[in-house]
Structure 1
Amino acid sequence: MKETNHEEDGITQIHNASFYNLTPRFITCMACNKINKKLAVSRNDGTIDIWDMQYASFHEKTIVTGESSIEGMAWAGNRLFTVGLTGHLLEWDLTTLTKHQSQTATGNSIWCLDVNTEGTLVALGTEEGYINIFDISDEQMAYSKLFDKQQGRILCCKFDSTAEHLVTGGIDAIRIWDVKTGHAIHRMSYARQKRAQEVIVWSLQVLKDMTIITGDSRGIVTVWDGKNAAHLEEHHVLKADVLAVAVNEEENKFICSGIDPKIRIYALTEIKKEDITMQNWIKYRQKQVHDHDVKALICMGDKIFSGGMDGYLGISSVDRTTSSGIAKHGPFLQGPAVCVSSEKRLLLLRYPNTVEIWKLGKSTGIEQIEDEEEEIKEEVKEDDYPPVEEKVFLKYEKGPQKLLEMRSKHGNQITCSSLSPDGNWLVYSTMTEIRMFAFMAGEENKMSQVVRIKCLPQEFTACKNILFSDDSKTLFLGKIDNTVEVFSILSNGEIDHSQTIKTSKYIKDTIHLVAVSNCGNYFVTAGTCRTIAVWIKKDKHFKHHLNLPRYTAPTTAISIHRDSPRLVASFSDSKIFEYDLEEMCFTCTEKDCYVKDSETHCVNSIVLDHRNPNMFILHNDTSLFVLEKCLPDAVGGGDDGVKKKKKLIESKVAGLKLKFQKKYQHFIHLAWLSIDELVAVGVNPISLIEQLPGAFVQKKFGAD
């Protein structure tokens, strides 16, 4: 489908490509670093997504672990630890996104871990009932102690606030252990009738006053007095297993969910009975964020982070009652997962271990009448968006055609991929190797040809960023050590290494964004340390030019104007600026929330209009919007207003105003296809839901 928007500066055709069919990768566990507002999310394919939650949720990096599963995860300061079915305790380097150190535990599969409040000890629970303690102080990871073996697997464990005791949950009982001696000092069992199924404790939390809250396979949350090993109260909160329990920072509310995906919140309330005042947990609120099993819950401030089988990272509020406070982030790959070859109208789509190349069609120029369903989907309130002069849907001359589907060697996870602008070169990389192919798109009914390039320079190795120059003659590879290797693609097809750019002096953390100017003279990198560094080409080599003023929020997207050395960048707090790389000054800056959901979804990419440099086209997960650069209005009247307006004009620092906005569902990528055509790639949420197993079925009154 094509949509045409008539703007003051001409006509822009938008191709809505909705055939990007990603498989939902479900969330297995989560861990939060409350000091730095970081959230780690592990998925069933062994990847870990690191999110920055300081402002709008920003997916800043992905660790491809290569592990078969991740069953537990925890932060110790800025250090991230994981365990899984391989029986190893792993620490990850969050700069290089690789394994930092590893230790083998006693017992095979590890189901859970926890770190004490001081970040010096980590406890592991295994399939065979062993509890391992490791000393992780002073950046080490040394085996410390083994507790008495218990009967049955250990599925969850938590230190108390003093780290003197460890609470574990398994089959039919929870135990309280003395950390110094390694002996169990209390065993609290679940009473069950004869022939009843075993009670599995899936999750537990330990409060500062040693109150223990557990969720089990009966759908019941039980509250225990850990000091006296006594049962206090229990609540039948769900109709199926309670897989996750979380507690807010004030410890006056607990949140639970599971196979029955409703998220229920209970509050600690004082109840007066006769002359006695008692504290009991009372149902406080209920939320419907997910439609499938919820396997992980985390509380950070007023926010609840949830995830499970549908792969969505759900963000809701502990206290807010309206559904408008709910945001969801899909199980999508860290961008860029899409690449466009404008010269040959090709579209590259990256999947976890495959890449696809599609040939996009052209419009006939004949108007098409939308069906009722499409009209309903596109319907928006008039007061939500600026007025649009005209919107026309055009018919395709020929629909999109898949030219290539390529699977990575051994099915390894693909970390990055790219297609050259001229459509002749395809490159993809895994964590261990990189491959380059010469690609020739087949015309009409002819097959496409793919030839692997084997004679490559020794510097052509695995990477995490791939970028072609606009003329397809230069290739940039960003390595895990934050160096950037620059290669020249010669006219005879040979690949020649031309330079190594060492960025570690200027960027101290992972490089997650790269851009090169159309002229090929400016190369820009942005790191997760909030730094944007610029290199300029002199004497055929790139030399460091400048570092832009460091901003407090993460950089989410960067782009350079086609015909001028001006960089446009967006940040997770919704700020946008334009910076002149030659004059070394800001030419435009704006921090207004021009999009309703900018508090939850940050800008994913910036596309600059080469026909009008004052137009910025941006998008996030839910919207496409066009901003126009303009001088701000003077505030106040009289001589003061005139003086202020004159000062603004002299400073040449402009603002932005919203010109156009259009709603989307899961907007993944936006790029120019020709001088007046854009391609917008999205993921249909229905295609994600259709791939999921059956959800927990509940009978509703009056429904079939």
Structure 2
Amino acid sequence: SAGLDGEITEYDLENLRPRNSMEAYGGPIWTISSNRQGTLLAAGCEDGTVKMFEVLEDRIQFQRNLSRQKGRIISLSWHPTGSQIAAGMLDMIKIFDAETGHATHRLLVERGLQRTSNSQEVVVWSVAFLSDHTVISGDSAGKVQIWDGITGTLVRTHLLTKWDVLVLAVSPDESSVIAGTSEGTVVQFQFISSTVDQQDKQWVRTRTFKSHSHDVRALVHTDTAVVSGGVDTQLVVRPLLDKVEKNTQESAMRKIIFPHRNLVSCAKKAGLLLFQFSDHLELWRLGESDGNGKPGDSLPVKRNPEKLIQLKRKGEDNICCSALSPCGGWLAYATVSSVRLYRLQLDNNISINKVSKLPKELNSVHQLSFSSDSSKLFASSILSSVIVVSVKELECKYLHTFKPPSDSRQPVHLLSPSEDGKWLATANTGGEIHVFDVHKLKLHCSVPVCGSCPTAVSIHPFSCSLVSVHADQQIFEFSLKQKEFTAWSRKLQKQGMHPLWLQRDTPITRVTFNPNNPTHILLHDTSMFCIVDQILPLPEEKTRFYNQSVLQSLSLGERLRNSHAFKVCRNFQNLLCVDLMEDHSLVVVERPLLDIVSQLPAPVRQKKFAT
């Protein structure tokens, strides 16, 4: 990555932290692009230079500068062979020879269309260099232009919008190009022929997608879908219906609004919630209701929720993970470079004290969790390892490091201690799930890899079984005593999940259990929470998958015929947390989208009919 600070940073995707960083010495960096082989990196700088870096095994090394230009370099694209580089600038595109560093062509971008005046500069926000030496550009005048990179001539101009075309992406076979605009639209162009004999192919505008309310800043064009993201914080996956089978799970459009990880920690014994933001943490005490009622009633509030602490991060790094102990006495958070641990006193006078000396092993972690008795802190670290430290008063002592049995280097993204404090379940992004014995400080067993990455894991407090839910929406139950899948899990896999369950957009992010009813498993994603009753029959493919509000409106006979193990509640939306407290009350945390939208910058104004 690179930015206006003028530095280039290389990241270790196995350990989820920066690996190398170096100054480019060209002022702010506006764009970077690597060749197809990944051996060279080009950076477009404020001072008008394109700087070439060699990507080595252990570092990034400066190689040389291409010919300096008068204006800043806004966008870059390599020719697939690596022999040339196209650079978008103000009012022009330059094509450089990657060997000599000299500019071979200058393509002048026309001004003065629609909202821009003849005297206003046009910014070439994005360029794409194709194998046949076609150059495609998107600019601030709302145009997508097709250029002949060999002769340096303009072939065709497509006027898309009155506003900016910000980003371009090319399909793997180079037969399709998509463009993202400031209006929130994504426009597709295809290289097709208008005649039957398929002669004289040209770039034709074929589709327009409107999935965003604000600028589209990022695009990826796969073989079967268009993935877009922008200022409205949503990631949209839109399948291309001519590339996938219709009326299937693959053909459904998906919107990803929230991160697929827990941003809320719950202190079940203390009645506290910890909310994680990018630059601070908020600790809240839950309110209390007065009286009893029947299901569906709103109870009067006896005590409102109370914000106890707002803790700002130290430094510039964003908070990547946080945890609150079940007793409410400990709080920890981590950035990519440091870990901080605090002792909380919340009785009469609220106080927070930082633990000054932490074990050196806690230098860089990406997941945190406390044991059920709040005496231990687990932290996932490098090389798929998990560090165990004890916490007592204002002391933090290193105990052990759990290491995976295999040579796996994938980061651990899920930690789940058991209620009795004996077990710790871990899951990494490679799909591996390991269970460690915390008392004996050794590996207990490994769960067979199920093909899809786990999104939530939890250990049942009574049956000593591990329940895992995966990105493909499959559910497994693994007995830690027998070290095999349970009979219920095998039955579920043999019968198969209900099609409507598999078609859900978002993954399950939390699994918990009901102490009053050990056969109940509570699951939730961002759009619903579900109680799976292991006693009831599993839903068959033709069974109606009603949610509970619809089920209650049916007659008793119809209700009994449609009764099955999955009880779905959709009364709440945009869920970040659903958890059971020690008093058996259920806490539901929603994050209304209107709150997020209200914090966004205003979108570009569009004239609409009758307004």
Task: Tell me which interval the TM-score lies in, with the shorter structure as reference length.
Answer: 0.7 to 0.9
AA at the equivalent of 1:603: I
Please report how far the alpha carbon of residue 622 of structure 1 lies from its aligned counterpart in structure 2 after TM superposition.
1.7
Change (3 A) 1:306 1:664: farther
Change (3 A) 1:603 1:594: farther
Candidates 267, 289, 298, aligned match of 2:220: 298
Change (3 A) 1:410 1:118: closer
The 1-side partners of 2:481 and 2:354 are apart by 40
Q: List gaps (5 residues or longer) in structure 1.
A: 1-81, 369-389, 636-655
The 2-side partners of 1:460 and 1:118 are apart by 36
Tell me how many residue pairs correspond in the alignment: 573
Candidates 607, 612, 618, aligned match of 2:523: 618
TM-score by length of 2: 0.87
Aligned to 2:368: 466
Aligned to 1:398: 303
Change (3 A) 1:598 1:542: farther
**Equivalent residue runs for 1:229-244 within 5 Å:** 229-244=152-167
Native 8 Å contact 1:159 1:166 kept in 2: yes
Candidates 530, 540, 547, aligned match of 2:446: 547
Aligned to 2:420: 519
Aligned to 1:259: 182
Candidates 222, 246, 250, aligned match of 2:173: 250
Change (3 A) 1:450 1:585: same
**Equivalent residue runs for 1:444-463 within 5 Å:** 447-454=349-356, 456-457=358-359, 459=361, 461-463=363-365
Candidates 325, 332, 341, aligned match of 1:436: 341
The 2-side partners of 1:438 and 1:84 are apart by 37
Change (3 A) 1:328 1:364: same
Native 8 Å contact 1:483 1:504 kept in 2: no
Aligned to 2:575: 667
Native 8 Å contact 2:175 2:190 kept in 1: yes
Deviations 1:389-431 (A, max 9, x none): x633333222211111121234642222222111122222333
**Equivalent residue runs for 1:537-616 within 5 Å:** 537=438, 540-587=439-486, 588=489, 589-590=492-493, 591-593=496-498, 595=500, 598=503, 600-616=505-521
Please report how far the alpha carbon of residue 140 of structure 1 lies from its aligned counterpart in structure 2 after TM superposition.
5.2
The 2-side partners of 1:97 and 1:634 are apart by 40
Query: Are 1:160 and 2:79 counterparts?
Result: yes
The 1-side partners of 2:359 and 2:25 are apart by 44
Deviations 1:221-256 (A, max 9, x none): 111111222211111111201001122233333221
The 2-side partners of 1:461 and 1:137 are apart by 26
The 2-side partners of 1:514 and 1:276 are apart by 56
Native 8 Å contact 2:167 2:180 kept in 1: yes
Change (3 A) 1:224 1:567: same
Candidates 648, 671, 676, aligned match of 2:584: 676
Please report how far the alpha carbon of residue 559 of structure 1 lies from its aligned counterpart in structure 2 after TM superposition.
0.4
Aligned to 1:206: 129
Deviations 1:294-315 (A, max 9, x none): 1111112222121221222222
Candidates 236, 241, 244, aligned match of 1:314: 236
The 2-side partners of 1:324 and 1:119 are apart by 32
Change (3 A) 1:662 1:269: same
Please report how far the alpha carbon of residue 593 of structure 1 lies from its aligned counterpart in structure 2 after TM superposition.
4.7
Q: Secondary structure at the match of 1:563?
A: coil
Change (3 A) 1:519 1:366: closer
Aligned to 1:5: none
The 2-side partners of 1:216 and 1:504 are apart by 52
Native 8 Å contact 1:499 1:541 kept in 2: no
Native 8 Å contact 1:366 1:395 kept in 2: no
Q: List gaps (5 residues or longer) in structure 2.
A: 541-563
Please report how far the alpha carbon of residue 570 of structure 1 lies from its aligned counterpart in structure 2 after TM superposition.
0.9
Deviations 1:606-649 (A, max 9, x none): 112222333221111222122232587899xxxxxxxxxxxxxx
Change (3 A) 1:413 1:343: same
Aligned to 2:145: 222
Native 8 Å contact 2:10 2:19 kept in 1: yes
The 1-side partners of 2:280 and 2:376 are apart by 24
Please report how far the alpha carbon of residue 595 of structure 1 lies from its aligned counterpart in structure 2 after TM superposition.
4.4
The 1-side partners of 2:357 and 2:82 are apart by 57
AA at the equivalent of 2:126: S
Please report how far the alpha carbon of residue 462 of structure 1 lies from its aligned counterpart in structure 2 after TM superposition.
4.9
The 2-side partners of 1:493 and 1:84 are apart by 40
Change (3 A) 1:565 1:282: same
Q: Secondary structure at the match of 1:689?
A: helix
Aligned to 2:398: 497
**CA-based RMSD:** 2.9
The 2-side partners of 1:572 and 1:611 are apart by 29
Candidates 27, 34, 46, aligned match of 1:115: 34
Between the two structures, name the one with larger relative contact order (CA 8 Å, sep ≥ 6).
Answer: 1
Please report how far the alpha carbon of residue 116 of structure 1 lies from its aligned counterpart in structure 2 after TM superposition.
1.7
The 2-side partners of 1:337 and 1:410 are apart by 20
Change (3 A) 1:546 1:152: same
The 1-side partners of 2:110 and 2:76 are apart by 21
Q: Secondary structure at the match of 1:613?
A: strand
The 2-side partners of 1:365 and 1:594 are apart by 41
Aligned to 1:328: 255
Please report how far the alpha carbon of residue 102 of structure 1 lies from its aligned counterpart in structure 2 after TM superposition.
3.3
The 2-side partners of 1:242 and 1:280 are apart by 20
The 2-side partners of 1:593 and 1:199 are apart by 53
Please report how far the alpha carbon of residue 158 of structure 1 lies from its aligned counterpart in structure 2 after TM superposition.
0.9
Please report how far the alpha carbon of residue 685 of structure 1 lies from its aligned counterpart in structure 2 after TM superposition.
0.4
Candidates 527, 532, 545, aligned match of 2:433: 532
The 1-side partners of 2:354 and 2:51 are apart by 48
Candidates 690, 694, 701, aligned match of 2:602: 694
The 2-side partners of 1:407 and 1:364 are apart by 34
Native 8 Å contact 2:472 2:502 kept in 1: no
The 1-side partners of 2:224 and 2:593 are apart by 27
Deviations 1:418-457 (A, max 9, x none): 2211112222233333333222224xxx552223333555
Native 8 Å contact 2:367 2:379 kept in 1: yes
Deviations 1:28-51 (A, max 9, x none): xxxxxxxxxxxxxxxxxxxxxxxx
The 1-side partners of 2:388 and 2:199 are apart by 72
Change (3 A) 1:326 1:256: same
Native 8 Å contact 1:156 1:201 kept in 2: yes
The 2-side partners of 1:566 and 1:679 are apart by 24
Change (3 A) 1:424 1:239: same
Query: Are 1:174 and 2:93 counterparts?
Result: yes
Native 8 Å contact 1:216 1:243 kept in 2: yes
Native 8 Å contact 1:557 1:604 kept in 2: yes
Q: What is the percentage of aligned positions where both structures have the same residue?
A: 29
Native 8 Å contact 1:168 1:175 kept in 2: yes
Q: Secondary structure at the match of 1:686?
A: helix
Aligned to 1:418: 323
The 2-side partners of 1:183 and 1:633 are apart by 68
Determine which structure has the larger strand proportion and give its number: 1
Query: Are 1:338 and 2:264 counterparts?
Result: yes
Native 8 Å contact 1:506 1:533 kept in 2: no
Change (3 A) 1:528 1:262: same
Change (3 A) 1:418 1:171: same
AA at the equivalent of 2:445: L
Change (3 A) 1:594 1:680: farther
The 2-side partners of 1:155 and 1:571 are apart by 41
